[in-house]
Copies of this chain bind each other. A is one copy, B any other.
Amino acid sequence: MTTIIKAAVDIADALGLEAVTLATLAKKLNIRPPSLYNHFDGLPGLRIELAIHGLEELRGSLMNAAIGRSEDDAIYSIADAYIAFVRKHPGLYEATLPAPGNEDDRLQQLGSDIVHIFTRVLQSYGIEGDAAIHTTRGLRSLLHGFASLEAKGGFGIPLDLDVSIKQMLHIFLVGIRSVKE
């Protein structure tokens, strides 16, 4: 990871993605803002680089979590990795979310890779084809929804969030078995 991306990630995770500006980034690097144009194509270009880096990290975490596991074991492990990633890198995760106009091929590929991890695990349940796609969408919705609501402080009530994750995954996994046949 380049020094510049690392600095941008630090700002994003500490202060939020919107705090990553050419001004703040340049200040952190002891550089003048225009110098950054030698490394990426302006603020939109930086956002794309951040998204790519974030998706690569996320993909790595999820793949690692899925190795040697199947069915519920794999799902719990992947879910853990997903939520841990967002907790550790809230700003970087924000950068990975599809933004209008981001049609970079590398982003498409990374997104597809991540979806593939889910569908592979669902195969271990015997879920394939369209059902696997629908179920993957459900799982991604659940994980992204929880992680992003948590990151924004959307769960006001002071009740253990890890228990909520466990319970909602349990619900989903019980339900998933009704899709198999």
Contact = CB atoms under 8 A, between A and B. Distances in A.
Interface of A: 16, 97-100, 108, 111-112, 115, 130-131, 133-135, 137-138, 140-146, 148-149, 152-157, 159, 161, 163-164, 167-168, 170-176, 178-179
Given A135-B168, A138-B164, A172-B171, A156 B97 contact: no
A28 to B, nearest CB: 20
A156 B144 CA distance: 16
Is chain A's binding surface mostly helix, strand, loop or mixed? helix
B179 A135 contact: no
How many identical subunits does the complex contain? 2
Query: Considering the complex of A and B, which 4 residue pairs feature the smallest CB-CB distances, nearest first?
Result: A145-B145, A138-B168, A171-B175, A141-B145
Given A135-B171, A137-B168, A16 B145 contact: no
A172 B179 CA distance: 11
Contact of A145 (B144, B163, B179): B144
Given A108-B156, A137-B161, A140-B149, 20 more contacts: A16-B100, A97-B152, A133-B157, A133-B164, A135-B167, A135-B168, A135-B171, A137-B146, A137-B164, A138-B142, A138-B164, A140-B154, A141-B146, A142-B142, A144-B145, A144-B149, A171-B175, A172-B172, A173-B175, A175-B176
A176 B46 CA distance: 43
A134 B178 contact: no
Nearest to A144: B145
Contact of A134 (B111, B137, B148, B163): B163
